Amino acid sequence: MYREIVCLLALFLSACTTKSQVKEDLVYEHSIDIGQEIMVPQHYIAYRTQGIQIDGQALERDWKIATYTTEFIDIEGVKEPKYKTQVKMLWDEQYLYVYAEMEEPHVWGNLKKHDAVIFYNNDFEVFIDPTDDGCHYSEIEVNALNTTWDLRLNKPYRFGGHANDYYEIEGLKTAVHIRGSLNDGNDIDTSWSVEMAIPLEVILQRKRKALKHPKDGDYWRVNFSRVQWDHDLKKGIYSLKKVNGKRLPEYNWVWSNQGAINMHLPEHWGYLEFSENALGNEKSPKEIPQVLNKQVAYALLQQIKFGAHKELLDLAPTITKKIKTLKVKGKDFDAVFLKTHLGFEIYIENLSSKEQFVINEEGKFKVL
């Protein structure tokens, strides 16, 4: 197996060479445990609608028929959220429609300027990657005042990405509905809801193709976050709660488990599948290719670049290390770490399916 990587200038290990043929000094001495890094992304099928009026309420027949996502969980998948949050999705040729309903006894907000840092209020957030490559993805945030912040990232922050606050999702429609009162500390509210119409063609410009909307069976990576803060109420004015002058940490509740307090792990986002079927003619979810393979690749990347195995980064360029066989969800994976002049690459084979793939130091995943 190792002989072929040498012959191909360290491109990959071929299955034709047995492990006994790999020289001992070329095998990484430590086992890498990625079990805790493997996430099972959520999956939701959005069905076609004849159109939705954006008013913050789900009054249309199609909204009433559409199913909710599973309830949001804590972003690390550990704590149980204090309040319930759920989402529904629909689509037509122009828009992806998102409806979120959030239990909340105190609906408040004070940020009124578009593109302010909205998550300093309680907010609802949408993350969209239409190409499933973890790059050039969009983010939308909205608070109870219906103040929005839309931005785009060229890549995740941990890979050196930056946010473009000047980016505007032209044609975006949002509305908020409050079951109770806004910024009134004299009563107890029930909930608030957000409704969005997200222009498909604008989001699909990321693909650099003349696409106006998805096709039946297409899928995007999406996730949703609800940011929730502890608050103070003094003289009828809400504010973020502070101790010794410092804000208490926010709560982050999400649809698809991130496994860390970080929404910018697009490989952990859920799958949104588009179906041409009308509501009432539901279908089974399609099988998304490479789901487990991608999780394994990103988990290895996490452990080597940011985790307990950074020592591999100190290898000299062109040096390779065979990683001991990984066992993930009943399947075996072989992997080879290759140090390059610019970074590194990890070549991986799913021994069950014989699929081979590679991921580099910036999280770029490719099937071989």
CATH number at residue 203: 2.60.40.1190
End position of a domain, from candidates 250, 278, 306? 278
End position of a domain, from candidates 220, 247, 278? 278
Report if residue 172 sits inside a domain: yes
pLDDT of residue 236: 87
CA 323, CA 301: separation in Å to the nearest integer? Answer: 12
User: Are residues 320 and 224 part of one domain?
Assistant: no
User: Are residues 162 and 105 part of one domain?
Assistant: yes
Report if residue 130 sits inside a domain: yes
- Contact assessment for residue 60 and residue 279, using Cβ atoms and an 8 Å cutoff: no
User: Are residues 211 and 84 part of one domain?
Assistant: yes
What number of other Cβ atoms are within 10 A of residue 323's Cβ? 25
Show the domain range for 197. 43-278
pLDDT of residue 36: 86
User: Are residues 198 and 127 part of one domain?
Assistant: yes
171 residue type, one letter = G
The per-residue pLDDT of the chain, averaged, comes to: 92
200 residue type, one letter = L
- Give 10-residue mean pLDDT values along the chain (368 residues): 40 42 74 91 96 95 96 93 98 97 97 97 98 95 98 96 95 98 94 98 79 91 98 92 94 96 97 94 92 97 96 96 94 96 97 96 96
User: Are residues 143 and 15 part of one domain?
Assistant: no
In the chain, the number of structural domains is 2
pLDDT of residue 209: 67
In angstroms, what CA-CA distances link 158 with 174, 191, 223, 353? 30, 34, 18, 31
End position of a domain, from candidates 229, 257, 278? 278
Torsion, CA 233, CA 238, CA 240, CA 246, rounded to 10? -60
pLDDT of residue 79: 86
pLDDT of residue 16: 35
In angstroms, what CA-CA distances link 268 with 129, 134, 315? 12, 10, 29
